[in-house]
Amino acid sequence: MAFQKVEVQFNGQPLTIETGKMARQADGAVVITYGDTKVLCTVVSARKMREGQDFFPLTVNYQEKFYAGGKIPGSFFRRERGTTERETLICRLIDRPMRPLFPKGYMFETQIMPTVISADMINDPDTLSMVAASAAVAVSDIPFEGPIAAVRVGRVEGKLVANPTNEQRTQSDLEIVVSGSKDAVMMVEGEAEFLSESEMLDAIFFGHEALQPLIAAQSELAKLVGIAKREFVVAETDAELKGKVTELAESRIVDAVKIRTKQERYAALADNRTAVQAQLAEAYPDRAGEIGAILGSLEKRVVRQMVTKDRIRIDGRDMTTIRPISCEIGVLPRAHGSALFTRGETQALVATTLGTSSDEQRMDNVQGMEFKKFMLHYNFPPFCVGETSMRLFPGRREIGHGMLAERSAAKILPKHEDFPYTIRIVSDVLESNGSSSMASVCGASLSLMDAGVPVKEPIAGIAMGLIKEGDDVAILSDILGDEDHLGDMDFKVTGSANGVTALQMDIKISGVTKDIMRQALDQARAGRVHILGEMAKAIDKPRADLSQYAPRITSIKVKSDQVRTVIGSGGKNVRGIIEATGCAIDIQDDGTIHIASADGEAAKRAIKMIRDLTQEAEVGKLYMGTVRKIMEFGAFVEIYPGTDGLVHVSELAKERVKAVTDVINEGDQVLVKCIGIDKQGKIKLSRKEALGENLPTEG
């Protein structure tokens, strides 16, 4: 392939896409450059399809090389390890808008590998990798109904910005990634500070407009390369067999899908499949796979027609009704906060744990070391859908759902300086029939309030669905698992009654219009408000006190130049306080000190020990000190731990003293007065002037 390159101005700086220079044995390879950030993306698709393949095996493996940022990995072997959480999330960002655009029936194993090879810490490589993935397929011979592109949208001082810099992102009250084709939005994911539905919609379509130059650049590059797309054969369905299956199965499917409980419905559908296979086995031997595929398509068509034509859903609801909701709080006595949230046949057990700075998550990546003070972990065990598996670690789906819930809940947390806890929320899905991530958001809000975390306001989440058959459109509130599987869209929206905190949209068709998205957002808000009303019956504001088992964090402030004193040589002082009190102590460079303990008295002792270390002598004050060292010219008396002053021999007594040891000895407790502090900070003490004094003493 000959070298080709295109350039487009994007946000005032050039963005280039080139091919034919690197990774030339891949089916498609591009390098995208924006600023000093570079992403190499390759794609390879198998020439032969696996026997019996009935789905599109697309894999996206995104990786950030540490050398891209001039770093050496911090792992023991000093190599990039397995896929990080950040890389997993970006893999999903790339996969979701790409997958629907491969042609129907294309089931050849395909692997897309975006690799960050240079990172300038200004321009985030994630959206660039999404563009690179599309461009790599566009210049290859792999069939693809693209190209697509992606941008990040922020809002700084009320103005929408495409692909904001990292500095602008810190000032933005909105952050969403929008991916789309020339004509439609394909995917949306992000978070916001309680923005209205109309503001979110404006941001989404601002992003869609902003990405158009990136689509044009890919189309130009593909034209320059000029590679024809490979042809592939889609196996045609046997019309006679399809007719037989429909005749035998359709009426039973219509009856089965109206069964409202998931397990009974699945059992009825399974019985129907078994019966049809048995009835056709003799006439159509060795065609069980084909019969199964026809049955699956028939089940999908029946459900979709029932929704779009009859306006009846699988469980009998109309388009906007929310499933019955049950909320309980305080279900785990020893957890700091807990909730059991049940919506229909979806249930999440959610627990909140409060910790200290030592519990922060430390993540090493190409951008540098990151410290997370808030985490939400989502678990989807196999039993929640009545299955078994050898699952050992969370998969990409669990990580993605957890991050969506984390983004949602993060918006209601107090500022860390006001509530200096590390917070971990765990959502264990106990039952699932759709919208388990949104159940996790609701449960997280409840458990935070049960834990006494002073959240800004409660939030809830709802998953919206879409079924579109020609001009017939049905937008569904609070979708079931089957409605997600058989429908065209999964649009999750979280927030309070006052606005949106996060959203995520995935579609299986070539795009959704602005009117459909507007209706979905408005319908989601109505559902969200209803859910919040049900949640308020369990708890409507945070508890006044933390759990008795949660650590109490008290914050005090010392001068920044006293931090070294508190820590001590080699950490001696702070270790001594921790050992003496059992408290956890976190010391900031600015002099802020957080003392954490479930024992209030222990915290008070720790505070006193810190105050003793950092108190400064005042001229004219009396101190009860301890003689630490005897010299010929006087004695050094410690008035605070680590702080001592000199009592000159002339200041020991009113009469003349021949030897210091005639008056005091090492270890003696002695009342002294501070009579001066010189320019070097050395303290002058007097026993003579303290004699006969009855003023309150310190120490």
Cα separation, 264 vs 259, in Å, equals: 7
H helix or E strand, kind and range, residue 572: helix 572-581
Short-list 621, 653, 452, CA closest to 553: 452
Positive or negative: CA dihedral 163, 168, 169, 173: negative
Query: Is residue 490 marked as binding?
Result: yes
| Residue owning tokens 């019966």 | 275
Cα separation, 9 vs 12, in Å, equals: 6
- Do residues 617 and 674 touch, judged by C-beta distance below 8 A? yes
Name 369's bridge partners.
Answer: 364
Name 428's bridge partners.
Answer: 349, 379
φ/ψ of residue 109, rounded to 5: -55, 125
End-to-end CA gap in the chain: 82
φ/ψ of residue 389, rounded to 5: -165, 165
10 Å CB burial of residue 43 (0-12, 13-18, 19+) is: buried
Distances (CA, A) of 419 to 430, 550, 595: 31, 13, 12
Short-list 77, 71, 74, 82, CA closest to 119: 71
Apex 526 CA angle, 520 and 530, nearest 5:
140
H-only helix segments in 172-238: 197-210, 212-225
Q: Produce one character per residue of 427-465: b if its CB has 16 or more CB atoms within 10 Å, e if not.
A: bbbbbbbbbbbbbbbbbbbbbbbbbbbebebbbbbbbbb
Cα 370 to chain centroid, rounded = 13
φ/ψ of residue 440, rounded to 5: -65, -40
H helix or E strand, kind and range, residue 397: helix 396-410
Q: Between helices 212-225 and 125-138, what is the axis angle to 10°?
A: 30
Cα separation, 573 vs 596, in Å, equals: 17
Cα separation, 332 vs 549, in Å, equals: 12
Cα separation, 356 vs 594, in Å, equals: 9
Cα separation, 53 vs 366, in Å, equals: 38
Short-list 581, 329, 523, CA closest to 445: 329
H-only helix segments in 73-162: 85-98, 125-138
- Do residues 343 and 327 touch, judged by C-beta distance below 8 A? no
Question: Tokens at residue 501, please?
Answer: 């905190």
By DSSP bridging, strand 63-64 and strand 472-477 are unpaired
Annotated binding site: 484, 490
Annotated binding site for Mg(2+): 484, 490
